[in-house]
A and B are shown apart, each in its own frame.
Chain A
Amino acid sequence: MSTSVTASTSLPDSPRPSRLRRLSQLRTYTQNLSSSLPSGQRSYRHSLSRIPWRSLNSDSISPPANSTTLPCPESDHPPLSRYTSAPAPSYGFGAELNNQVSSTESAASTPSNDLPQTPNSMARLRSASAVHRPPPRTLERATNNSQESTPSPEPGATPSNGIEPTSTPAEGQVTSKSETKATIRFFPYQDSLQSTRPSLPFAPVARTLPSESCVIRVGRYSERDGVPPPNPTEPSDAPVGFKSKVVSRKHCEFLYVNGQWHIKDVGSSSGTFLNHMRLSQPNMVSRLYSIKDGDIVQLGIDFRGGEEMIFRCVRIRIECNRSWQQQPNEFNKNTESLIKNLGKGETADYSGCRECSICLGSVLRPYQCLFMAACAHVWHYKCISRLLHSPDYPMFQCPNCRAFTDLSAEVDDSNDLEEKQEKEPIEDRASNDSGEQLETEGPSVVEPDIMEGPPDQLGDLAEENLVNNVENLHLQDDQQTDDTRSSASPAPDSSTDDLARSATTNIPGWQPTQPRSVPSGRESQLRTDTPVRSETSDDNPLTPRNDSGPLAFDGRAGMP
């Protein structure tokens, strides 16, 4: 990285004799830009963006202390603290505002999306911009601490608007989560009841964090950032972009803290809504809110009725904490052996997976086309096809457990699940061996013939694993520690089994009737109160009036 920096900075001064040479240099320069190059990029952007920022600031933002249209920190602190009351957000807000005013470092206009050292970027942004805070070093330290080491930045601050405190419910999940990477998936969500206007369509996005301190940034899609693969097979914390004008460039972030996913508005102009509740006021950083599987996150509000695609808000259905389902558990092992024995005349009792829940007929009979989803539920292909070829394609929701699957997802043929089975007896592994292919991400139309022949390489699996471990050691340090930790404690296995057993009747963490730790009355009230469009925003004080449009809100309309 440092070499590329020098290359790009030295470029303008060094005269080159040949034009061709210069061209190629220029190319490397731009390439460097498009790949990760923090400082060079910043200076480049900076020169571009400084002027518009200035002018905009003077228009709308710069007199924040006595402006009436825009909230100033002092006057707004009480309502803010009413629902944040954590130290971090308000002070982050101050820094953010400061940043906008001074724009010396103009880090806000820099989509620092490509920066490799992600966890620090936020802190750096703050420390760089918070000029009035005397020691920037300690400040950075402080933000780091509050973001990473503190379990939940609002320990005693269960706010009056009834969002649950984050730390306690997460405890149970920590054990089972620690063995797998933190994975989160975003699916488009269409509110079938309330809105007539569909939200922005997008391809499902999956992210697995390379390490727990990484942050997934969400903002407006920008050509300049390039398109990160929506579903990378390797762990990635690539930012997620949406092609909508109502999404701010830096809109919100997803963080994984203490085994629990959280969301945080990072000062978006048109708001981030978690289950229809707005997280913060315009251009303000919110505190962390814990999220769980099935939550709906909305970015922005439809502008001009969402007539045009580019003005539609984004509604995301969150899928997380589903790792128990993606690992070997009793249910999918059962299903796997059921599939393997198809046509062999064995009719052992495989409770829970022998019946097609659509036609209530048996799936055990051979010579039938079956479909198995990633959650290991099986149906006749004919019965389920209606749900497969739906308008939502490639999204598929399991009618049994409501797990979402991306039917267009790449086939995951990695064998990393083997490592987790090291503790299991060998004969168990024999039956699991072909199962691992079934338990992978993507769904598969199962043909019994294929399943008949499991690769017979079980003998040296343990050694193989060891070799694999050693080979991967330098690449995947974090994973390694995770794996050793998990193999040391056999507990997660049994817990996932329990979960799986109960999954046939009700799914933990998803059943809609499941009691929430949130006062649900309040939440459902919010659900109906939250306006979908800006026109109806009068009854909700948290919702901004979007009269002037997202561009004006964003304050970056003049940006190239």
Chain B
Amino acid sequence: MGSVKRISKELTELTESPPAGIRVELADESNVYEWKVHMEGPEGSPFHNGKFLIKLSLPTEYPFKPPTVSFATKIYHPNVTNDEKGSMCLGMLRADEWKPSSKIAAVLQFARQLLAEPMPDDAVEGRIAEQYKNDRVRYEEVAREWTRKYAC
């Protein structure tokens, strides 16, 4: 399987020199397709000091198909669904925008960037997006509270 080779290569790279605030490991040592990602909330965002557990699953066709990213930790964010799946909407992960040359490191960095700067126009949670746009103070308040409640 070509994908295993590439995935393990990326995994090695990510464990050896992890990007800031991101730590990766396999959910199950025998399965390279399911990753556990520990992400720290970026500084300056209401998620700061929070530790978020993200599940990253790779399709067997990786890198020709995009991985999926979902938050196991509840998070108050316009681009993350507020349900038990917690799936994250990333533009670069959409099937028609995904490029095989994108790496997981880039995906995770992009996801972390999204925590700092939500994209309300691309939101999956319309209500939160609305609040983010119109009532930033309240949004940050709730986000901080959720972070304290679920991510610490």
Contacts and interface: CB of A to CB of B under 8 A. Distances in A.
Do A and B interact with each other, yes or no?
Answer: yes
Contact of B91 (A382, A383, A513): A513
Given A358-B2, A358-B6, A358-B63, A192 B95 contact: yes
B2 A383 contact: yes
Contacts of B92: 513
Given A399-B99, A399-B100, A360 B10 contact: yes
Contact of B121 (A383, A400, A521): A521
A192 to B, nearest CB: 6
Given A387-B64, A521-B121, A357 B91 contact: no
A512 B5 contact: no
Contact of B97 (A358, A383, A512): A512
Interface in A493-527: 512-513, 521
A387 B92 CA distance: 19
B64 A357 contact: no
A135 B121 CA distance: 54
Interface in B110-138: 121
A344 to B, nearest CB: 26
Contact of A359 (B2, B91, B99, B121): B2
A359 B97 CA distance: 19
A485 interface: no
Interface in A377-395: 382-383, 386-387
A402 interface: yes
Report, as a range, how many residues of chain A touch the other chain.
Answer: 10 to 19
A400 B101 contact: yes
A107 to B, nearest CB: 42
A475 interface: no
Nearest to A193: B96
A41 B40 CA distance: 74
A359 B6 contact: yes
Contacts of B101: 357-358, 399-400
Contacts of A360: 6, 9-10, 103
Given A358-B63, A386-B64, A512-B91, A402 B6 contact: no
Nearest to A512: B97
A529 B9 CA distance: 43
Interface string B1-30: 010011001100000000000000000000
A402 B97 CA distance: 10
Contacts of A399: 99-101
A44 to B, nearest CB: 48
Contacts of A193: 96
Contacts of B64: 386-387
A402 B99 CA distance: 8
A526 to B, nearest CB: 15
Interface in A317-361: 357-361
A483 to B, nearest CB: 35
A357 B97 CA distance: 16
Contacts of B2: 358-359, 382-383
Interface in A193-219: 193
Nearest to A397: B99
A378 to B, nearest CB: 12
B96 A192 contact: yes
Given A386-B64, A387-B64, A521-B121, A358 B96 contact: no
Contacts of A386: 64
Contact of B5 (A357, A359, A521): A359
A189 B64 CA distance: 19
A192 B92 CA distance: 16
Contacts of B99: 399-400, 402
B139 to A, nearest CB: 21
Interface string A402-442: 10000000000000000000000000000000000000000
A295 to B, nearest CB: 15
A150 to B, nearest CB: 36
Contacts of B10: 360
Q: Quick one: which of B9, B92, B95, B100 has the most chain A CB within 10 A?
A: B100
A359 B8 CA distance: 10
A75 B83 CA distance: 53
Nearest to B96: A192
A399 B96 CA distance: 11
Nearest to A191: B96
Contacts of A387: 64, 100
A387 B91 CA distance: 22
Contacts of A361: 5, 9
Contact of A358 (B91, B95, B100): B100
A439 to B, nearest CB: 21
Contacts of B100: 357-358, 387, 399
B90 to A, nearest CB: 11
A514 to B, nearest CB: 11
Interface in A511-560: 512-513, 521
Contacts of A358: 2, 6, 63, 100-101
Interface string B31-45: 000000000000000
A193 B91 CA distance: 14
A400 B102 CA distance: 8
Contacts of A382: 2
A519 B29 CA distance: 47
Interface string A271-303: 000000000000000000000000000000000
7 contacts: A192-B96, A358-B101, A359-B2, A361-B9, A399-B99, A399-B100, A400-B101
Given A357-B100, A387-B100, A512-B97, 15 more contacts: A192-B95, A192-B96, A358-B6, A359-B5, A360-B6, A360-B10, A361-B5, A382-B2, A383-B2, A386-B64, A387-B64, A399-B100, A399-B101, A402-B99, A513-B91
Interface of B: 2, 5-6, 9-10, 63-64, 91-92, 95-97, 99-101, 103, 121
Nearest 6 CB-CB pairs, A to B?
A357-B101, A399-B100, A400-B101, A360-B9, A359-B6, A512-B97
